[in-house]
Amino acid sequence: MHYPRKLSKLKRLRKQGFRARMRTRRGRKLINRKRRRGFHRLSVSE
């Protein structure tokens, strides 16, 4: 049986987490857009 890749949680958070999003202009726009739509979980790490 084939197993999917075992990704590191730390690597995932560094790539897709809240602080990674806040680092870029587009990431901040994305978070604000989700906030306006009423999302409670805005990213992986929240």
Domain membership flag for residue 2: no
Residue in 23, 18, 20 with CA at minimum distance from that of residue 35: 18
Domain membership flag for residue 1: no
The residue segments making up the domain with residue 39 are 9-46
Structural domains of the chain, count: 1
Which CATH number fits the domain that encloses residue 43? 1.10.287
Domain membership flag for residue 4: no
| C-alpha distance from residue 28 to each of 1, 9, 45 (Å) | 41, 22, 15
Domain membership flag for residue 43: yes
pLDDT of residue 1: 72
Domain membership flag for residue 27: yes
| Per-residue pLDDT tens digits for 1-46 | 778 888 899 999 999 999 999 999 999 999 999 999 999 888 888 7
Give the type of residue at 10. L
pLDDT of residue 6: 84
pLDDT of residue 34: 94
Return left, alpha or beta for 38; rule: phi > 0 is left, psi -120 to 50 is alpha, else beta: left
pLDDT of residue 30: 95
